[in-house]
Amino acid sequence: MTAPGWLTWTFAAGLSATATLLAATDAAAPPKLQPGSFPALPTPQTPTPGTQATAIGLSNPSFEAGLAGWTKTGVAFDTQPTVDENVIAARVGAVTIGGDYWKDIPYPIGVRGRRWIGTYEKRSSPALGRGLTQGDGPQGTLTSHRFKLPVNAKYLSFLIGGGDDPQHLKVELLQVTKASKGKAGAQGKEFEVLAPIAKVKAMTGHNSEVLRRDWWDIRSLNHKAEYAIRITDTSSRGWGHINVDDFRFETAPPPQQRVDGHPAVLKTTILGKPVYVDYDAPLWGAADLHTHPMSHLSMGGKLMHGAPDVGSLLPKGTQVRGNGCNAAPVRAKSVAEALGDCNATHGGWGTDNTCGDHIRAFAINVAFDSEFEHALPAIPTDGTCPAGMENDAGLCFAKCKPGYHGLGSMCHKDCPPGFRDDGLYCAKPGSYGRGAGYPLGDGGKCRREHPQGCEQDGLLIYPKCKANFHAVGCCVCSPNCPAGMNDIGVSCEKGGSYTRSGGAPPTSNLHGDHPHGGYPALAHWPHWSSKAHQQMYVDWIRRAHDGGLNLLVALAVNNELLGAVVNGDPPMDDKRAGDLQIDEIRAFIRRHDDFMREVKTPAEYRTAIKDGKLAVVVGVELDNIGNLQVGNPGLTASASKVKAEIRRLHAKGVRYIFPLHFADNVFGGVAVKGGLFNLSNRFARTRPLPIGVPFPPGFLYQVETAKDPDIKYRLELLGKDGEWAHGLTFTVAKLLLDLLGQTPFPPAFHATKCPIPTLGCVPQFKLLSSLLSPDSGWDVYATVPGGHVNKRGLTPIGEVAIKEMMRLGMIIDVDHMSDRAVSQTLAIAEEFDYPLMSGHTGFRDKSKKADENQRSAEQLTRLGRLGGIMGVGWAGADARAFLHNYRHGLGHSGRNGGAPAPHFSLGSDINGFEETPKPRPGSRVSYDLKQRGGLKQASFAGKTWDYNRDGVAHIGLYPDIWQDLRNLNMRLSEREEFFTAADAFAVMWDKIESKRGAVR
C-alpha cells in the first residue's frame, strides 16, 4: 500500500503538542535488532518516501547507513549525518591560556562508529575538510520510521549533546496513535499521529559538544504499539544545535551494565551537572609519562632542593635559619619555605652556613649539576671574585650597572671622554676665550671670519661657542655638562651615585657554587640547565594542565650512592625512601584535588580526565625494590618474597613500575650507561660495606659486544674517557677531590681520628675517594670490541617478578633494562599479549653514540604490536631538536614497511635530574593575547618567565614549547598524536586489565 511521505501538522484537539502524521505502510521490514545490537550497515543513502512495514526495533540506530530509515524536514539535517569526529578543540575551550597549538586538533566528543547527527556540522563526506560547520542557523526535524519495541527491551539509551533548550532542541520518543478527530486524506485512508508519551521525557543537550549517555525507561510501554523517534532543532540562537548518536535497546539501565569487564558508562560532570558518558569515549590531552614531583625527598633529601607545594615535607638541614638550618624534617608553611634559599642544601660549610657541606657542594656543583648556567667557576684564579662581582682594593663588590663605575662601596656615573673623574664630580676640560669682540657695525666681518655664527653681548658682537660648549659671561666658552649632571662652573656634579653590595674578600670557590636565593625573586632557579632545583611547584603543574596536560606519571625515585655522596639523612635506602615519596605524592594530590586526582584503575583514570582533572598515576623507579639486594651480593631471592614485595607496592597505590633502574638487581641487568651508573652498581651490590673500606672486585658492569650495530656506546678505561658527568674524567675528579680534602672543616675535628680537621676526615670524602680509585675491572672494557651492553638479562626470579606485576595489572616500563632483559620481557608480554611501556628514551638509529637503553626499530615494532606507548625524551634539547626526534618516531612504520609502532608521547624526566629544553635560537613565542598564537605569560611571585629567553624553566612552560613547536610547523597529524596520548594510555590500560587474568 502506497502512502504519502512524512507530514507535519499541528493537532488542535486531544493531543496537546505538535504531532507528526504518519501513514501506515506495508513494505518489507528492516533487520530486527536485539537490545544493544547493531545491524549490518549498508552504504549510506538518502531515504525516499515509500512503503515501509513496521520494524521490530529501530532501523539504522547509529546513522552508519546515512539517513536510511529516517525522514527530515527543514534544512538542519540536509548535511547529515556527520562523518567522523568534526569538533575541534577550539570549540570546546580545551586550553585556557591562549596559544593556537591546540585549536585545530580534533576533540573527541564520544561518537560511536563513523557517522552521527550534529546540526552544527557540515561534513557529510570524508572528502570534506575536517572542522567544516554550518552554524546554529538551520532548523528542522529528523524522524525515524515507525518501529515496535523488542520484546525484552526495557530501556532505550542514546547519546546526546549540544544546546540545552528543552523546547527547541530535543530527542523524543513518540507513539503512533490514531487521530480522534479530523477528516480522512485524499485517498480515504485513516490518519495516524505521533504523539508525545507522558511517561517518557524529551531529552535536550547540556551546552556542551560532548555526548552524554541518556536513556528512557520503556518497561511500562505497550510493546504492541508502534513508535518513532524525533530529533528536533528549531533554534538559531547560540548553542542552537543538537548532537545525537547510537540509539540502543537495553535490558538494564547503562549504569548497571558491564562490558568486557568494565562499566558500560562512567559518571562524570559536564558544566557542573552529573551525567553519564560511554566508558570508552575517547579522551583528549597530552601526557608526561615520566616525572618526579617528590624527588627532593630522594637521595637523603640533599640533592634536589625545593618542594612542590605548601604542606610538603622538607628534609632535615635544607631550610636556612640564620647561619643554621632546620634540625628535623618539617612541613612547608609558606611558599617562601617550599622554595626558599638553597644554601643549606647546596652550599659549602662556613660560619655563615653551618649546615653546608663542601663535599656535597662539590658533588652537586662540580659534577652532578655542572652545566647549570648560573654556576660559578669551580677553581677560579686566586683573587677572582664570583660572577657578577669585581675586585676593588682586595674586596669583592657587585659590578655597577652600565654607565657607572665602582669606587670602593660606591657606584658613580662615568664621565665623558676628556673630563677628569673626581668621584662625585667630572672636572671639565679647558675653556677658551672668544676674543675682544667686534663693534656693532662689524657684524658682517664677524660672521665672515667665524662660520659658526655670531651673537651680541652688550655693545659688542662675539663668535658663538663651538658645539658642546656654552658662553660664560661675555668672553669665555665653557664645556657643556652631560645630560643629567649639574653644571657648577669648572666641574659637573654627577648625582645618582649609589651604594653597591659586597665587600667580602675573594675566595677560591674550590667546591663550586651557584647563587642560592629562591622565592620570591627566583632570579636563578628554576632553570632549564639545573637538575638540582624544584621544577614542579603546584602552580606550575596547574599551568601545564591549563595548557592541555591531562596525564602525569608521578614516580618515586632514589639512588643510595648519590644519597651517601651528598651526606643525606635517613631514609636513604630504596624501600623507605620510595615509601616516603609514594605517601607524599598521594598526599600532595589530595591537597590539590580541585584540579588533580590520583587514579588506580582505568575507570578512575577515564573518569578523572572526563571530569577535567589532571590524572596522576603513581609509580616507582628504584634500583633496589624492597631492598631485596641488601646483603645479597649474589642477587638471589625467593619467589614468595618477591611476590610479597610487589603486592605490597600495589597495595600502597603503585600502578607504574620499573623492574630495573641504575644497578643490577635480583630481577636482572640494567642498561650500561656511564661511569656514574657503573659506580652506583658497584656501591649497591656491595651494601652494607663500611664507608672508606676498599671496594671488592667483581661488582662493576659485566659487558659484552652488542649484537645491534646501532649501539655505539662504550665504557672506556678509567683515567682516559671514563665519564663521571658530562666529560669530567675520574682522574680529574679525583685530583679535584684530593685538593678539596685539604680544606679546613672544623666539624670534622676528632682528638684522635682528625686532630687537624679537614674535609679528608669526613666519611663521605672517603667514600668518594674509594669510589674513584682505579679498579682492574675497568681494564676489561678496552678489550671488548664494538658497542657495549650488559651481559645480564632477566634472572629466573626476574621472570617471576614480571609475571606477578602482570597478574596485578601493573604498567611495566622496560626503560633502564639491558638489551637482553628487554628482549626477554617482550617475549613474556607477547605470550600474553600484554602491553608494555618505554616511557622516557630515544631512538638508537638516531643517536651518534646510542646505548642499549634507547629503542631499536625491532623493539618499537614489538611494542607497537602489544599496544604499548613510548615517551620521547627531550633532556637538554630545544624545540627544533625535539620535533626532529619526535618525527623520527612517527616515521617508524613508514621506514619499516608499515610495521606497527607504539603511540608516541612525552617522557620528560622532569625533576628526575635531567635538563629540560633550552631556549631555541630564533623562537618567537608571543605573549600578546591579541596576536595569533599569543599565550598568557607564566608568572609566579616576583618572577615572569619568557620562554624565548628562559626555555622550559619548569613544567609550567610546557605550553610555551608546545606553541614553539606549532610555530615550527609541527603538523596537525603530529600534534594530534601528541594530544591523544591521554587516550592511548587509557586504551593500553584497558588492554592490560583485560589480559592480566590470563597470565600464568
Give the pLDDT mean for 142-167: 97
First to last CA, the chain: 63
- Cα distance between residue 861 and residue 850, in whole Å: 18
Indicate whether 560 pLDDT > 90: yes
- Of the candidates 633, 648, 637, 682, which has an alpha carbon nearest to the alpha carbon of residue 662? 682
Q: What is the pLDDT of residues 610-641, one digit of tens each?
A: 999 999 999 999 999 999 988 888 888 999 99
Q: Is the pLDDT of residue 37 over 70?
A: no
| pTM for this model (two decimals) | 0.82
> What average pLDDT score do residues 297-320 get?
96
Mean pLDDT, residues 406-434: 88
User: 68-125 pLDDT, tens per residue?
Assistant: 999 999 999 999 999 999 999 999 999 999 999 999 999 999 999 999 999 999 999 9
Residue 22 has pLDDT above 60, yes or no: no
What confidence tens digit (pLDDT) does each residue in 509-549 have? 556 688 899 999 999 999 999 999 999 999 999 999 999 99
How do strand 549-557 and strand 286-291 relate by DSSP bridges? parallel
pLDDT digits (tens, 9 = 90+) for 580-620: 999 999 999 999 999 999 999 999 999 999 999 999 999 99
Walk me through the domains of the chain, giving residue ranges and CATH numbers: 7-282 (2.60.120.260), 287-377+512-612 (no CATH), 404-499 (no CATH)
Give the C-alpha separation, 835 to 995, whole Å: 9
Three cell numbers written together for 198 = 507522558
Asked whether the predicted pLDDT for residue 743 surpasses 80, the reply is: no
- Whether residue 127 has pLDDT greater than 90: yes
Q: Reduced to 3 states, what is the DSSP secondary structure of residue 961? A: helix
pLDDT at 358: 79
Cβ neighbors of 471 (< 8 A, separation 6 or more) are: 434, 455, 457, 462, 464, 465, 477, 478
pLDDT in tens, 921-970: 999 999 999 999 999 999 999 899 999 999 999 999 999 999 999 999 99
The answer to whether residue 888 scores a pLDDT higher than 80 is yes
* pLDDT attached to residue 507: 58
Q: What pLDDT, on the 0 to 100 scale, is given for residue 421? A: 87
Is residue 195 over pLDDT 70? yes
Picking from 864, 871, 876, 816, the residue whose alpha carbon sits closest to that of residue 842 is 871
At 513 the pLDDT is 81
Residues 6+ apart with CB under 8 A from 634: none
Distance CA 754, CA 851 (A): 44
DSSP string over 622-635: -SSGGGTTTT-TT-
pLDDT at 734: 66
CA atoms within a 13 Å half-sphere pointing along the CA-CB vector of 536: 27
DSSP label of 962: H
Question: Taking a C-beta distance cutoff of 8 angstroms, is the pair 943, 522 a contact?
Answer: yes
CA–CA gap between residue 344 and residue 479 (Å, rounded):
55
pLDDT at 652: 98
Q: Got the DSSP string for 821-839?
A: HHHHHHHHHHHHT---EEE
Structure confidence at residue 881 as a pLDDT band (50, 70, 90): very high
Indicate the residue type of 908. Answer: S
Residue 861, Cβ neighbours under 10 Å: how many?
A: 18
* Residue appearing with cell numbers 662615568: 414
Name the nearest CA neighbour of 854 among 869, 866, 838, 876: 838
Mean pLDDT on 404-415: 87
How many whole angstroms separate alpha carbon 672 and alpha carbon 547?
Answer: 37
Separation CA 834–CA 812 (nearest Å): 10
Between 893 and 917, the higher pLDDT residue: 917
H or E element that contains 801: helix 796-807
Residue 79's closest CA among 47, 42, 126, 121? 121
Q: Per-residue b/e over 380-412, b at no fewer than 16 CB within 10 Å?
A: beeebbbeebbebeebbbbbbeeebebbeebbb
What pLDDT score was predicted for residue 181? 56
618, 650 Cβ separation under 8 angstroms: no
**Count of CA atoms in the C-beta half-sphere (13 A) of 469:** 19
pLDDT at 422: 83
Average of per-residue pLDDT across 225-238 = 97
* Helix H or strand E encompassing 790: strand 788-790
Candidate from 312-316, 363-367, 827-831 with smallest mean pLDDT = 363-367
Q: Are 768 and 565 in contact (CB under 8 A)?
A: yes
When pLDDT is cut at 50, 70 and 90, the band that residue 506 belongs to is low
- Other beta carbons within 10 angstroms of residue 21's beta carbon come to 17
> How many other C-beta atoms are found inside a 10 Å radius of the C-beta of residue 638?
12
Which residue from 873, 836, 792, 870 is spatially nearest to 988, judged by alpha carbons? 836
Question: For residue 815, what pLDDT band results from cuts at 50, 70 and 90?
Answer: very high
Mean pLDDT value across residues 383-391: 77
Q: In the prediction, which pLDDT does 889 show?
A: 96
Cell 505502510 locates to: 25
Element (H, E) at 906: strand 903-906
Dist. CA 297–CA 320, nearest whole Å = 17
Residues 6+ apart with CB under 8 A from 150: 32, 33, 34, 35, 56, 57, 223, 249
On whether the CB atoms of residues 747 and 390 are closer than 8 A, the answer is no
Q: Which of 359, 413, 394, 439 is nearest to 739 (CA)?
A: 359
Percent of the chain with pLDDT over 90: 67
The pLDDT score that the predictor gives to residue 760 is 80
Is the pLDDT reported for residue 824 higher than 80? Answer: yes
Over range 168-191, report the average pLDDT.
75
Burial class (CB within 10 angstroms; exposed 0-12, middle 13-18, buried 19+) of 416: middle
Q: How far is CA 579 from CA 311, 557, 593, 619, in A?
A: 18, 10, 21, 11
Q: Which amino acid is at 961?
A: I
* 927 phi, psi to nearest 5 deg: -115, 20
Q: How confident is the model at residue 727 (pLDDT cuts 50, 70, 90)?
A: very low
- State how far the Cα of 279 lies from the Cα of 494, in Å rounded to an integer: 75
23 has a pLDDT exceeding 60: no
Res 753: pLDDT: 74
Q: Which strand ranges, in their side-by-side order, compose the sheet holding 410-413?
A: 404-407, 410-413, 498-499
pLDDT, residue 490, reads 86
- Per-residue pLDDT at 458 exceeds 60: yes
Residues in the chain: 1000
Beta carbons of 34 and 55 less than 8 angstroms apart? no
CA 298, CA 582: separation in Å to the nearest integer? 11
- The residue written with cell numbers 504523539 in the block is 195
Q: What 3-state DSSP class applies to 271? A: coil
pLDDT of residue 774: 67
pLDDT of residue 732: 62
pLDDT of 443 reads 86
What 3-state class would DSSP assign to 338?
A: helix
Query: Is beta strand 596-598 parallel, antiparallel or unpaired with respect to 614-621?
Result: parallel
Average pLDDT over all residues of the chain: 88
Q: Using pLDDT thresholds of 50, 70 and 90, give the confidence band for residue 446.
A: very high
Range of weakest confidence among 236-245, 258-267, 809-818: 258-267
Distance separating alpha carbons of residues 16 and 9, to the nearest angstrom: 12
Grid coordinates of 439: 663693534
Contact (CB, 8 A) for 995 and 832: yes
Separation CA 482–CA 313 (nearest Å): 57
pLDDT band with cut points at 50, 70 and 90 for residue 349: confident
- Give me the numbers of helices (H) and strands (E) for the chain, helices first please: 23, 53
HSE (side-chain half, CA atoms, 13 Å) at 952: 32
Question: What are the E-state strand segments in 401-557?
Answer: 404-407, 410-413, 420-421, 425-427, 432-433, 438-439, 454-457, 460-463, 469-472, 476-479, 486-487, 491-493, 498-499, 502-504, 549-557
Query: What pLDDT is recorded for position 31?
Result: 33
